[in-house]
């Protein structure tokens, strides 16, 4: 019987690259995001290319009731081996006095509350199954606060704290918990942060080679593919040109 991975935020960037990599590894997939067409297309492509089975869930993780749709999956699909809590975003880059409170709500609701809603349901399945592995996508922003990063950083610090908490709470149930903390990865992330301003988004990656979504997918796979007795607790992965959130070597 093939293993099952459930990936949130699978329609773009890190989540999409990870879905592809797990499909190559012959995992059956539960893919979750909001954009129906993209999700459907990805599912069709992965199942025809790799001969795996894919279930899709069009869900906004901020909506507690909508996340309950997970419980509607057939029982055999609840034998999830790996949960990848990846859905997340930043909105805006302003000092605390100038931030848009609606943006703050979106980040907190998605990056923290959404992750919790999904985890509560899936961790209970894993407890029933007697094992599991949860991979939470944090950020270097959850290890260091940077100028104007305020609320986004706070959400990722929360993820970092939840990694530690989950590791304690889920230890008796043989559920591994891994935190992956990327630096700058060129995905739709900056376009979302700057609300569709493609030019501003592109400038974020000017003059250096950022990480590619595939680099983080590879890191996730490394953590998940360790032997049963090994857990990778935490990994910080940055572009070689990035020492930390503020020291970046640009060649322009």
- Residue 46 binds to ligand 8X3 (criterion: CB under 6 A): no
229 or 250: CB nearest ligand NDP: 250
Q: Is residue 19 a contact partner of residue 213, using CB atoms and an 8 Å limit? A: no
**Which range of residues in 30-38, 110-118, 137-145, 219-227 is near ligand 8X3 by CB under 6 A?**
137-145
Helices (H), the chain: 13-24, 36-50, 64-67, 101-107, 115-129, 150-170, 189-193, 198-203, 213-224
Catalytic residue among 146, 152, 157, 205: 152
55, interface contact from ligand NDP, ligand 8X3, none, CB < 5-8 Å by kind: none
The answer to whether 8 and 61 are in contact (CB under 8 A) is: yes
Binding to ligand 8X3 in span 146-185, by CB under 6 A: 149, 183-184
CA distance 79 to 132: 9
Residue 141 in contact with ligand 8X3, rule: CB under 6 A: yes
CA 207 – CA 187 distance, rounded (Å): 16
Stretch that binds ligand 8X3, among 20-28, 46-54, 138-146, 160-168 (CB under 6 A): 138-146
Q: Least Å distance between CB 84 and ligand NDP?
A: 10
Residue 110 binding ligand 8X3, by CB under 6 A:
no
Phi-psi group of 196: left, alpha or beta (phi > 0 → left; psi -120 to 50 → alpha; rest → beta) = left
Q: Which helix (H) or strand (E) holds 135?
A: strand 132-137
Q: Is 139 a binder of ligand 8X3 (CB under 6 A)?
A: yes
Q: From the list ligand NDP, ligand 8X3, none, pick the one residue 99 interacts with, judged by a Cβ distance below 5 to 8 Å according to partner type.
A: none
Sequential DSSP letters for 234-250: EEEE--TTBSSSS-B--
Told to judge if 27 belongs to the known catalytic residues of this protein, a careful annotator would answer no
Q: Residue numbers of the site for ligand 8X3 (CB under 6 A)? A: 139-141, 149, 183-184, 245
Catalytic positions, written as ranges: 152
């Amino acid at each position: 019987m093939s293993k099952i991975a459930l990936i949130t935020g699978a329609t773009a960037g890190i989540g999409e690259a990870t879905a592809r990599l797990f499909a190559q590894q012959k995992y059956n997939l539960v893919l979750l995001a909001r954009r129906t067409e993209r999700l459907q297309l990805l599912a069709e492509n992965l199942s025809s290319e790799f001969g795996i089975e894919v279930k899709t869930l069009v869900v906004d993780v901020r909506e507690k009731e909508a996340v309950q749709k997970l419980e509607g999956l057939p029982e055999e699909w609840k034998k999830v081996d790996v949960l990848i809590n990846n859905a997340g975003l930043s909105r805006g880059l302003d000092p605390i006095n100038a931030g848009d409170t609606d943006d703050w709500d979106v980040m907190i609701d998605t990056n923290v509350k959404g992750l919790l809603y999904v985890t509560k349901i899936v961790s209970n399945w894993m407890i029933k199954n007697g094992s599991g592995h949860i991979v939470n996508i944090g950020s270097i922003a959850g290890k260091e606060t940077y100028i104007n990063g305020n609320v986004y950083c706070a959400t990722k610090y929360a993820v970092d704290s939840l990694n530690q908490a989950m590791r304690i709470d889920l230890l008796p149930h043989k559920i591994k918990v891994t935190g992956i903390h990327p630096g700058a990865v060129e995905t739709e992330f900056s376009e979302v942060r700057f609300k569709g301003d493609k030019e501003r988004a592109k400038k974020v990656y000017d003059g250096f080679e950022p990480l590619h979504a595939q680099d983080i997918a590879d890191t996730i796979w490394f953590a998940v593919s360790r032997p049963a007795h090994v857990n990778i607790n935490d990994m910080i992965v940055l572009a070689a040109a990035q020492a930390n959130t503020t020291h970046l070597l640009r060649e322009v």
